[in-house]
Amino acid sequence: MNTQKILYINGGILNRGGIESFMMNYYLHFDCSKLQIDFVVHGNTEGYYDNIIKERGSKIYYIPVKSQDYKGNIRALNEIFSTKNYKIVHSHMDAMSYIPLRLAKNANIPYRIAHSHNTNHLTNNPAKILLNEYARFAVRNTATHFFACSEAAGKWLFGDTIFKKRGKIIYNAIDIEKFLFNADLRNKIRKELNIDGKFVIGHVGRFDYQKNHSFLIDIFANVNKINKNTVLVLIGEGFLKKDIENKVNNLSLSNNVIFLGSRPDVNRLLNAFDVFLFPSKYEGLGLCLIEAQANSLPSLVANTITHEVFINNLLFKPIINPQIWVKDTLNAKRENNPNIYNEITENGYNIEIEAKQLQNFYLDLLS
């Protein structure tokens, strides 16, 4: 069988974000003798995953960012679509998939997949929201297939009718074994981070409006007033990181909050936490919540997030008052769940199984 080529389109560079982790989880479990997944990224900077992708024989096309060079962006996409012989274009840009999929349609690419990874626009800028709202409706006429990480994400981007009739959920599946709780790793990492003997609260997420770090710091400030032996560990980067660092300093919490930056070993670090807080304003699903549940880590989650993410060990809370989170945060207790591997598999989040199903879907389209 000849290797079939598919093009993935990402809205930024290939760093360790949720959408990028989703793509890589599947990509690394595809049979590369049957499928070659190539990537379009927006920007000229190499990302964390670039070398891994190139070592597997895939191509990465670096194109201009729309906001900096719109004409150059369109020109680059048109050249790829017209000369590189792709039959499937799979875009992971939520509403803004409209632009590449419209160009792919004009280039007569037969299969155009729009993938919803969210339940709201990734901006609070009114002008950008207006543009994204137009794109959210326009993408429905440019895609041939409608994917989403959850039913909530699918209905938000494509509407109830389209998603009910033509939508497909592609689960945010993980390598479960990597995330199972490990007591030896817990002890080792807590010593490495100098948090042995502390009550450790953890969070994973980029520093932006969606992830609601300011509210998270408010929760922690209230927790720390009651128990001074608490530590908050934050994993991630982002444009609001400096603002959050300033807030932590202003609240005199610098000795109790650890900023670890972007880390490739989240699966290891989860073992060190006692509880996981996730007060996002919205999420398509929340990949790190699947990972936390695989780790048997008790988690408090914003009730703005679809309950489809629930497997075991999640407690949903409103994000109207940080005080509401304090008692349950302090009362959280780790209890290893020996059945979690099977529970995650039964709910559709085992990457070994889900990657084969998606691979077969692509191959069936191309046969």
Question: What are the pLDDT digits (tens) for 9-33?
Answer: 999 989 888 899 999 999 999 999 9
For residues 280 and 305, the answer to whether their CB atoms sit within 8 Å is yes
Domain boundaries of the chain, sorted by first residue: 4-173+350-366, 176-346
Please give the CATH architecture assigned to the domain spanning 176-346: 3-Layer(aba) Sandwich (3.40)
Q: Torsion angle of alpha carbons 74, 49, 22, 208, nearest 10°?
A: -70
Neighbours of 54 (CB within 10 A): 13
In whole angstroms, what is the distance from residue 133 CA to residue 128 CA? 8
Count CA atoms closer than 13 A to 345's CA, side-chain side.
9
In whole angstroms, what is the distance from residue 182 CA to residue 71 CA? 51
Q: Which amino acid would we find at residue 355?
A: A
In whole angstroms, what is the distance from residue 45 CA to residue 59 CA? 15
For residues 278 and 205, the answer to whether their CB atoms sit within 8 Å is yes
For 189-318, where are the E strands, in sequence order?
199-204, 230-235, 257-261, 275-278, 299-302, 314-317
Q: What is the pTM of this model?
A: 0.90
The pLDDT of residue 1 is: 52
Q: Tell me how many degrees the CA angle 56-179-279 measures, rounded to the nearest 5.
A: 105
The pLDDT of residue 127 is: 77
The pLDDT of residue 121 is: 75
Equal fold, 4-173+350-366 vs 176-346: yes
Q: Which amino acid would we find at residue 148?
A: A
Intervals of the chain under pLDDT 50: none
What's the token pair of residue 350? 């085992």
CATH for 4-173+350-366 is 3.40.50.2000
